[in-house]
Structure 1
């Protein structure tokens, strides 16, 4: 009996000493920030608890908050608790160490308050409290102040302090909302009332090498927004670090679908998202085309990734009368559908059809000059960088061609706004 008690006391003393020697700190993917848009986008995008290939991570692979532990031993039981009542329920990650680790990250799956995050408009400080237990013994509790960014701020590249650059351009797709009631209750009925098309049928009207049906449907959407005075309006990001800095976050301000519709103002990302949302609803494959400084739209002519047309969405509301004579002649000479003459004659005032042709030609030219740089939906997203090569890698990875369908099927969710 005394031997059993002595053994129990010895094990308890070992556990206490181990916990006392433990060294850890709060870790955050976005450098002491939380982005609601990212949380929303990845909520079903591979968020199960996993161990990485290097064996130095356990938890939510898309998590934003966790802990960095300096040393752990095989067989130790670890539990991490994170609390921040304003944005989440108490979130816990518990696991057993399978191997010794001198540098380990543990990221619980955060139980966000989704109704709160989708309406979080302004950046705001929030206090979080983190507790770490080893072998059922509390090591310590630590508090930290973080910034919760607004829902309109979309992170598209992050570099961690460990020198890992991550391409997050796909998060833009969380603003694409093909199920928004404005589309079904207002926009689609408005498009049909305009009479450009008699029905919405996606690719049903496509025959071999004849894509009239698709072009007509896309033009119907373009005409609707031009007729209703939607215009390009530049709105720059207001959160940017220096690209060569480590850590670093690059974020772009993006209006939600309902905000774009209400204000009738759209920057390059907004306008692309607006069009992508409606085309996706109509059964036409839509793509976001991103570069280090721009975004425009692509759409599939036959439902495949191999046959795309491109459109420069910043030309919404523009007038071809402002173009030189050579460009105007090029537009007039372009044959797109069997209804070209009819569409031009039925355009009132500035021709929405000629404007549409110009947007297609401009989109194609934009893509053509950078065609060899674009990376598809399944491209690599994680890269090791240094301060010396971070800027060049940033330029390289931001050429993306992102399929809405691909990411919807992978689990990326739209923001409900």
Structure 2
């Protein structure tokens, strides 16, 4: 039985943490609003995606290879997936965790996104245009990777974010993540489209929502863990602002 659809249930654009995280992203200043595809300009979409990436880097979401479950078996494949609140608060993410968190945020701001599975790995795909003609991949295990920015950057990326809006660390990892993710997406195109290999899957969340696969509801009492941004980032602690407002 193919149960890959269950991955879509872990994506939770309705999670109460999502709005708080989006506010934190706005505080960082890469964008002043999230409006999905409304402008009709792919550069605006990429800028919004980078704003979310920059937030996760600022929150120091680091790659963790924990994937083993209590039901780990050679006969039945299994994967440990953290709920969104765990990933956001613990700042740890295996490839699925980070992808689920990012796709949840993308879904909330109206950007079409998918989880892409290949043997032993998961990453994100998103559309830079509303028609889905510009598909880009995003390798989420690189969120906090310390990399050098390549001398040559794809024109779409380069024109999407002004240089004064690029955080040195997050921009370098973002460019690398798009390059790696997109090349992997292209490399696996045949397997993903054929559906003949169970180790590959393109889990389009919009499609599965239409089929009735809804997010796993959040019933916990956890609050989003606050964090301090440096003065250079031009933002303050979002949770403290919430508490003062109350």
Q: Answer 1 or 2: higher relative contact order, Cα 8 Å, separation at least 6.
A: 2
- Give RMSD over aligned pairs: 1.9
Contact 2:117–2:123 (8 Å) recurs in 1: yes
Contact 1:236–1:253 (8 Å) recurs in 2: yes
Match of 1:192 in 2: 26
Tell me, which stretches of 5 or more residues in structure 2 are unaligned?
219-246
**Separation in 1, partners of 2:206, 2:122:** 18
Deviation at 1:308, TM superposition (A): 1.2
Match of 2:141 in 1: 314
1:96-107 correspondence runs (5 A): none
The structure-2 alpha-carbon separation of the partners of 1:402 and 1:306, relative to structure 1 and needing over 3 Å to count, comes to farther
**Separation in 2, partners of 1:288, 1:333:** 25
TM-score (norm 1): 0.49
Match of 1:415 in 2: 216
Contact 1:315–1:359 (8 Å) recurs in 2: yes
Q: Deviations over 1:134-193 (max 9, x none)?
A: xxxxxxxxxxxxxxxxxxxxxxxxxxxxxxxx2211111111000111111x21111111
Deviation at 1:339, TM superposition (A): 4.8
User: 1:329 aligned to 2:130?
Assistant: no
User: 1:367 aligned to 2:185?
Assistant: yes
Match of 1:70 in 2: none
User: 1:263 aligned to 2:90?
Assistant: yes
**Greater helix content:** 2
User: 1:298 aligned to 2:129?
Assistant: no
Tell me, which stretches of 5 or more residues in structure 1 are unaligned?
1-165, 244-248, 322-327, 380-392
Secondary structure, counterpart of 1:250 in structure 2: coil
Secondary structure, counterpart of 1:320 in structure 2: coil
Deviation at 1:201, TM superposition (A): 0.9
Deviation at 1:337, TM superposition (A): 4.4
User: 1:183 aligned to 2:1?
Assistant: no
Q: Deviations over 1:242-282 (max 9, x none)?
A: 34xxxxx3221100001101101000000000000000000
**Separation in 2, partners of 1:400, 1:363:** 14
Match of 2:100 in 1: 273
**May I ask how many residue pairs the two structures share in their alignment?**
216
Greater C-alpha radius of gyration: 1
Deviation at 1:227, TM superposition (A): 1.3
